[in-house]
Amino acid sequence: MMGSLASLLPLEVHNPLFWVLGTPLVGAGLLACIPDWRQAAWLNVAISAAALGGAIGLLYVRPAETVLFFIDDFNIYLVVLTAFVGFTTALFSASYIGRESKTRRLTSQHLRFYHSMYQAFMFTMLLALSANNIGVLWVAVEAATLTTVLMVSLYRTREAIEAAWKYFILCSVGIGLALFGTILVYLAAQPVMGDGALAMAWAQMIKRAGAFQPELMNLAFVFLLVGYGTKVGLAPLHAWLPDAHAEGPTPISAVLSGLLLNVALYALLRFKMLINANEHALQPGPLMIGMGCSSIFVASFMLYRRGDIKRLFAYSSIEHMGIITFAFGMGGGLANFAGLLHMTMHSLVKSAIFFAVGLITQATGTKRIADIRGLTVSHPFLGWAFVIGVLAIAGLPPMGIFMSEFLVISSTFARNAWLAVPVMIGLLVTFGALILRLQGMAFGEPGHLAADSERTHQGWFMHSLGVVPLVAHLTLALVAGVYLPDELVTWFKVVAKLLG
């Protein structure tokens, strides 16, 4: 028993990776057994804090590479980001889901299940980010799909169950294609690396990828791009994403947009690095640029037709993942730097927006954009926080997303000015759609559904718990738009060079 467990987790307690992976895994089991959902909510926060502490520890103690796990400059950045957003979202959930239990009439069993699946979801994402074995990476991404399917269907409404099934079927097909691509990569590596786990250990594969069979690598990347691209939500493979965001609990929408899409793109980038290391294989950049541009265009125009506030920002996530994919497709130091920065800023800002959206829907009792009016009058703090969040995600200065989008455009202009034109058009169309929607929701006379108080049915302390993560994320995005620490810039430069 201990031998099999040792193969799954690094058991040394002094190893930060033990806390990163062990706490959410054990926590998922504990949360399923706790009868009081209020205690489960606080334990969920404590477990997330422990995982964040372990992630920060990785900055100071880099664990040794094994066949199953490794930490390098690329994934350590995403592990810390994932643990941080996971912690703040758990804090937001402690306030949000308690109120949902009244309005949605969720039972204690439903709430325990929610918190347990939340930690299981965090474990799968952190496992995917720290996996050295490309097979374990695939298993972790598939497991992330299964856990989020269960949470998307939490409300048990017809729409929620339909969205969960749609999410499950489409993403399972995509992940199935990614599995076939993973097998092809193994077959390409086997003559060079030999049989067994060593031929699936990414850290070893990257050193000898230049000798892999290029024909198999070319075919593999097509399947991987379509497979993991479905999970990223790239158009035209995005159909699951708006439904899953709209019908699931708002904290899950925050981690879906802010974290899970990053994890799927991370998996794709790992394989892109293998392809780039083989000079006889195809160049993956043009394929990623094409899918990035299609995502930007599809999402930007679809924003004008959305009547549901959560669907609106779900399509915004598709657009931003298109920008990130486009940047990494362009490649090179500056474009990769911009992609990394945009990935970080999108995670922070989009999760903050979904925090605000969750509070807005609870305060107004509706998700319909047409029924949400005058938030800055009826709920001043919440309304203005929402305004800042929308302006940030739209790319206005001085927020961090403006800086990352500016770097994407400028790096593209320097290499191929014509490619920058469709991206700029997409950004302008998106900006117009978001500002158009913002005006009615934030300004003017309050809607008739607006609640009398931002704290209706909620004490001051619990209300503050919902607001703190929102303020923290927007503050970080603002600071990043004005100043990036030298250490972070150096870190991003190193990772940008690794990505090629």
pTM, two decimals, is: 0.93
Q: Could you read off the pLDDT tens digit of each residue along the chain, which spans 500 residues?
A: 334 444 445 556 678 888 899 999 999 999 988 877 778 888 999 999 999 999 999 999 888 889 999 999 999 999 999 999 999 999 998 888 877 766 666 777 778 888 899 999 999 999 999 999 999 999 999 999 999 998 898 888 888 899 999 999 999 999 999 999 999 999 999 999 888 888 899 999 999 999 999 999 999 999 999 999 999 999 988 989 999 988 889 999 999 998 999 999 999 999 999 999 988 888 899 999 999 999 999 999 999 988 889 999 999 999 999 999 999 999 889 999 999 999 999 999 999 999 999 999 888 888 899 889 889 888 889 999 999 999 999 999 999 999 999 999 999 998 988 999 999 999 999 999 999 999 889 887 786 554 444 444 445 455 567 789 999 999 999 999 999 999 899 999 999 998 98
For the chain, what is the radius of gyration of the CA atoms?
A: 22
Tokens of 485: 């620490």
Give a yes or no: residue 205 inside a domain: no
Contact indicator for 353, 434 with CB cutoff of 8 Å: no
Give a yes or no: residue 94 inside a domain: no
Give a yes or no: residue 348 inside a domain: yes
- Containing domain of residue 423, as a range? 284-500
Contact indicator for 11, 18 with CB cutoff of 8 Å: yes
58 three-state secondary structure: coil
Report which of 85, 56, 48 is spatially closest to residue 346, judged by C-alpha positions.
85
What is the DSSP track for 289-354? HHHHHHHHHHHHHHGGG--BHHHHHHHHHHHHHHHHHHHHHH-SHHHHHHHHHHHHHHHHHHHHHH
pLDDT at 100: 72
Contact indicator for 449, 314 with CB cutoff of 8 Å: no
Give a yes or no: residue 13 inside a domain: no
pLDDT at 454: 42
Give the residues across from 133 on adjacent strands.
201
Give a yes or no: residue 17 inside a domain: no
Tokens of 452: 């009398």
Q: What angle do CA 190, 193, 197 make, to 5 degrees?
A: 80
pLDDT at 313: 94
Give a yes or no: residue 444 inside a domain: yes
Give a yes or no: residue 493 inside a domain: yes
pLDDT at 15: 82
Query: What is the tally of structural domains in the chain?
Result: 1
Tokens of 474: 């927007």
Quote the CA–CA distance of 333 and 323 in Å, as a whole number. 16
Give the residues across from 9 on adjacent strands.
none
Give the residues across from 368 on adjacent strands.
308
Q: What is the DSSP letter of 256?
A: I
AA letter at 94: A
Give a yes or no: residue 481 inside a domain: yes
pLDDT at 13: 62
pLDDT at 2: 37
Contact indicator for 309, 434 with CB cutoff of 8 Å: no
